[in-house]
Chain A
Amino acid sequence: MSQTTPPTLTSVGIDIGTTTTQVIVSELTVNRSGIGAVTVDIGETTVVYRGAIHETPLVDRHTLDTDAVRELVESELEAAGYSASAIDSGAVIVTGESSYKENAEELVNHIATHTGEFVVAAAGPELEAVLAGKGSGAAAWATKSHETVLNVDVGGGTTNMCLFSGDDVVETRCLDVGGRLLRFDETGQVTHISEPAERLIEIRGLDIAVGTRPTDTERRRLATAMTELLFDTIEGPPLSSVTDSFTIGSSEYTGKTVDTVVFSGGVGRLISKREETNDESEFAFGDFGVILAAAIRQEIDRRSLRVRHPDEDIRATVVGVGTQTTSFSGATTHIDESLLPLRNLPVVEGSTITADHDYATIVSELQGCFEQGCELYELDETSPFVLSLPSISPLDYGRIKALARALGDVYEQYFTSECPRIVLTRQNCGKALGQQLHSASNANTPLVVVDEVVASDGDYLDIGEALGSGQTVPVVVKSLAFGS
């Protein structure tokens, strides 16, 4: 019934950041389980080659030099001892300027001609926040302990927070606070001030300017000001108007009580290390990180916040992608065949629909999913994506009908009628949901409902052309694999 997946995949992870690019080759073990709906898990991840850190080759501020990146990837693969044909899959993750994305897809077309399944993921601040939390172990801890864990990734330019509760990503919050907003030379003279820092200096009336050597007190006052923004955001609303003006995007704040905080990122590492700082080492990194870390640490101690050490303090690096050429979909699907094949669709996971969910609760759950998905993948109202429904229970007509009506309405609220609705169900109910969704949608809205396939947040999906009588489709689920 299904094509076999090699027990081990050789996968490349190409991490293109604002300033640096790195190529990593790893061996992934893919586990499959389940009858009917096959679940794919990436078992072991072994990094077999970690390339050097290169400066990201750019043509200009918004455009990747794809030729240079390709050469870089090829030379790294050669150095690793792999030929392109030996690569089964790969992922390109682009962070920072999201406008690299289009460019990056072009890049993949260059690289992927002779290799297997590739995924391009552009990580906006929200996805970066999630990745950081996965890399630091905050996500794993939340799952293991059933606690609500806030990962606070304090980087160079921004601080990205992600709240994990059990298995779920609850929300993300992003803030213009970072260790590289100010640069110093080794003597402590300011060489550069970024816009957010400039603004904060002005608001606080501090005496810090490029070319000057600010006093210890002034530096600490700035660090304290940044720390206040940070903790204001950690605590959630009501936010001060100043904090609000430093917030990036639509950060979310639920009423959930945070049990544990994990600090990651470059500055996060300085916080956890608890090194004694003195004036010589303050400028060791040529930036504001050491001073900021000290201020944050002080605040942690003052509040006796429960802090857990991160497993890894750098961002979770994508080491590749585990692909699963799944068994075909269930035999009963509802498909507009003209849409196929579909490739590299990001997956947004819906919540479990249980017996106590009525139309209104399903609508609000779906709105939450859609909003989170739109932010994570930077979807606009015409971007196709896959909504994966984990479970509908009990599987009765009333529930399917309510779900379809809610889906129809919520899709209409966020997406144009022409934007295809692509829905996965774990259970064997694709045709039923498809028929109902068809009634609940605009007549011209394209629909693809595929059943008995499981995919999660962060996965990417390919749906091939229909086979046989047009009832089954091959589905490839691609899961990003993270290492440290």
Chain B
Amino acid sequence: MSGQIQIRNMLVDDLPTALNTLLATGGRMQMAYAWFCDGQPRVCYLAAPGAGQAFECWSVAVPSGGLPSLASIAPLLGWYEREIQDLVGIVFRNHPEPNPLVLERGEHTPPLLPGAKGVVMTTAPHALPEVEGEDIQELDFGPVRADVVESAQFRFFYIGERILRYQPRLFLKHRGMERRFQGLTTEAGVVVAERVSATASLAHALAYCQAIEDAAGCEPPPRALVWRCLLAELERIYNHLHYFGHLADATTLKVGQAQGRWLEEQTKQLLAHVCGSRLPMNLLTPGGLRRDLQLPDDFAGQLAALEKETRYYLDMLSDTSSYIDRLQATGVLSQQVAFDKGATGPIERASGLDRDLRRDHPYADYVMLAPEVALRDAGDALARAEVRVEELRHSFTLVERAVGRLKPGEVCSTCVPRPDSFGLGWAESPRGSLFYAIYLDQQTRLARVKIKSPSYSNWRVFPFTVHDSNMMDYAINEASFGLSVAGCDR
């Protein structure tokens, strides 16, 4: 465990004061999760005091009566508490939204309790608000929706064009990936991490490997660190290009959609040339890379051509008034809601929250690559798109800088995990902050892996931009968030 995280054992009664102090001094909560220490349940609240300061794990033993809910102080904790209750069975008292979130609660043993048997479980029922009034209509949408999209279910309460309330039901795709890690060796765990959310496969592998390296106290060689950033930025490029293709589609700009998809395809084909996989997978391992990679001979030329085409494409989009008009003032997310509900990545940066793990808690080679952080205040769909425009342009620069820093050398150092150890790893994925907290057992096998994915945070926020908006804007607003369902559901 490195100096980048401190463990503070705390008493339950001290939690509200500590949390209030953290928020008053500009810090924030990242996540909460439960694990078992010598068979006894504990809950860890991961606090981020601020840029450059060590993360803090506030660890509390769970008394028999459960824990008080902290969701009224830090609303973003609400979902974590409900998930802990569903998966581990710990009760949170006085929770403002006490319904199950992930799984149906019932007779079965919660799946993350030690010794839970292999019962097949179902998703929590749709928790619908009580909406009363004349002329209110209900629309149930999904889980099977038009086109090729991920499965999720939505309920709209609306009058005419006006949406009064919007309630998504997620976790239909909950695959129990956190439990899937348990009992695996640290090397084998990477393969699972890559398949938690494949459109951020590299970010997941990276955060996971860094957590293991934190627990083992090892450091990958410089060449591996540079490669990790290079691949992570290529992953961001294809994801952001996909985003613009999708956004152009939502605003019925057909040529714009085709061009976005074509540029995304070129990036994926470039990735296949570089690393043997269109979605960068099967590359990382604790300690570095699984094998050395070589840039194709014409890489610089291909990248420059792609960058030129991308810039031209982004300029054309910003010159299109019909596209800009549809984004402006659509789905406004205020800075307060973004902070309270825990928005992350381009979403929070479009609402004026200046945070980026690559700069604030640098990992791999990012200290040397010096990433710039794009920021907007408006909080509407246009601001979310503009943040991604800047990030996309800047990612090309970061790839070029990384290529310049790629020196010959080893790509993997020995990484021997320690028994009974803990590690935390993080990465700024294309969609925002991603955390892996891992606990190893005495045989150095994975005992508990907790994943905080960016889409879990952003799906929590998204409905607040839909309530009291227009049906016409819904598809555009959803596209402007660029959410992944798999990442949220895990």
Chain A bound to chain B:
no
